[in-house]
C-alpha cells in the first residue's frame, strides 16, 4: 500500500491552507497514493491559540470537513485530515480532532487528541488546555487495501507520542501521528519517540508534521517520516511543504512479527 505523508507550513488563512493541502494531495494521488495523511493543524496555525475557536466546526458540517470528504472522493484516496477544531460542550474550548475519510467520501473514524501539549522552558511556553478539551477514547479503523490486505490503522496526534500505552491499546498495523512538534522538542525527541513506537508495536509509524517558520513566528520541527516495524526510517522530509512517498507491506509486517514472536501483537 502506497502512503503519502504530507508536510505543510500552515498559516492563518483556512482557505489558503486548504488550497495548499489540495495541491499536495493531488500530487500524492498522481503518484499512486492509496492513503494520505495531513499534519496537525493543517487547516490553521493562528496568530494566537484562540484563533482555533473561530475556525471550529460542528461534526458533519463545515468547509474543512467538506473539503476533506470531497477531496477523498474526487481523488479516490483514504484521507486522514491531520486535525481540525471541532466544537465541544465548552464554548471556550474545542476538540482537536483527526477525521478519516474513505475514497467514497464517507467519514469512517474520528479521534479526539487525548494528551494535550504543555511545555515551559525559559521564554517558550505552551498549554493547549487553555483552548482545547481532551478526548478520552483510542480510535482505529480497518483499511482494505488494493494489495488484498486489511490493515488496522491506529490514530493519534502529536503529544500522544509520549504515551506508549495508547499505542499498545490500538493494536494496529499502521500508527498515524499527525503533528506540529516545536523546534525545541522536535530536535530533542521526535525521531527517537517515533522509532520507539514502531519497535514496541512492530508496526509502521507514519508521522506527518508541520515544518518551518509560520506567520505567527512559531518554528515547527518538520522531519515528517515513516518508520518501518523494525524501527528503520524509510522516508523523511526535513523542512518545508512537500510529500514523503513510501510503501507499507503486509509481508514486512509478518516478517518483523515473526522475528519477535514473544511480543503480543495483531497478525495480518
Q: What are the catalytic residues?
A: 40, 113, 158
Contact 90, 56 (CB under 8 A): no
**Residue with the three cell numbers 491499546:** 169
Angle (CA) 156 158 162, round 5°: 90
Written in H, E and C, the secondary structure of the chain is CEEEEEEECCCCCHHHHHHHHHHHHHHHHHCCCCEEECCCCCCCCCCCCCHHHHHCECCCCCHHHHHHHHHHHHHCCEEECCCEEEECCCCCCEEEEEEEECCCCCEEEEEECCCCCEEEECCEEEEHHHCECCCCCCCEEEEECCCCCEEEEEECCHHHHHCHHHHHHHCCCEEECCECCEHHHHHHHHHHHHHHHHHHHCCEEEECEECCECCCCCEECCCEEEECCCCCEEEEECCCCEEEEEECCHHHHHHHHHHCCCCCCCCC
Neighbours of 144 (CB within 10 A): 11
Amino acid at each position: 500500500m502506497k502512503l503519502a505523508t504530507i508536510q505543510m507550513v500552515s498559516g492563518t488563512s483556512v482557505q489558503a491552507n486548504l488550497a495548499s493541502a489540495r495541491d499536495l494531495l493531488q500530487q500524492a494521488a498522481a503518484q499512486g497514493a492509496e492513503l494520505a495523511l495531513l499534519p496537525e493543524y493543517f487547516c490553521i496555525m493562528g496568530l494566537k491559540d484562540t484563533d482555533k475557536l473561530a475556525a471550529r466546526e460542528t461534526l458533519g458540517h463545515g468547509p474543512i470537513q467538506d473539503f476533506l470528504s470531497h477531496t477523498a472522493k474526487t481523488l479516490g484516496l483514504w484521507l486522514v485530515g491531520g486535525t481540525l477544531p471541532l466544537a465541544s460542550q465548552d464554548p471556550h474550548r474545542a476538540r482537536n480532532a483527526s477525521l478519516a475519510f474513505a475514497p467514497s467520501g464517507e467519514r469512517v473514524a474520528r479521534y479526539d487528541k487525548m494528551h494535550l501539549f504543555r511545555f515551559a522552558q525559559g521564554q517558550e511556553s505552551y498549554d493547549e488546555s487553555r483552548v482545547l478539551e481532551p478526548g478520552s477514547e483510542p480510535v482505529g479503523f480497518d483499511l482494505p487495501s488494493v494489495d488484498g490486505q486489511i490493515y488496522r490503522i491506529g490514530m493519534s496526534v502529536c503529544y500522544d507520542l509520549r504515551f506508549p500505552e495508547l499505542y499498545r491499546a490500538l493494536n494496529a498495523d499502521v500508527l498515524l501521528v499527525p503533528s506540529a512538534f516545536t523546534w525545541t522538542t522536535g530536535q530533542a525527541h521526535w525521531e527517537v519517540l517515533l522509532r520507539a513506537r514502531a519497535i514496541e508495536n512492530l508496526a509502521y509509524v507514519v508521522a506527518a508534521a508541520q515544518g518551518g517558520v509560520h506567520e505567527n513566528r512559531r518554528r515547527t520541527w518538520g522531519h515528517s517520516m515513516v518508520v518501518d516495524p523494525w524501527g528503520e526510517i524509510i522516508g523523511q522530509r526535513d523542512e518545508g511543504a512537500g510529500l514523503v512517498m513510501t510503501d507499507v507491506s503486509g509481508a514486512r509486517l509478518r516478517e518483523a512479527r515473526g522475528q519477535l514472536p514473544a511480543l503480543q501483537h495483531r497478525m495480518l
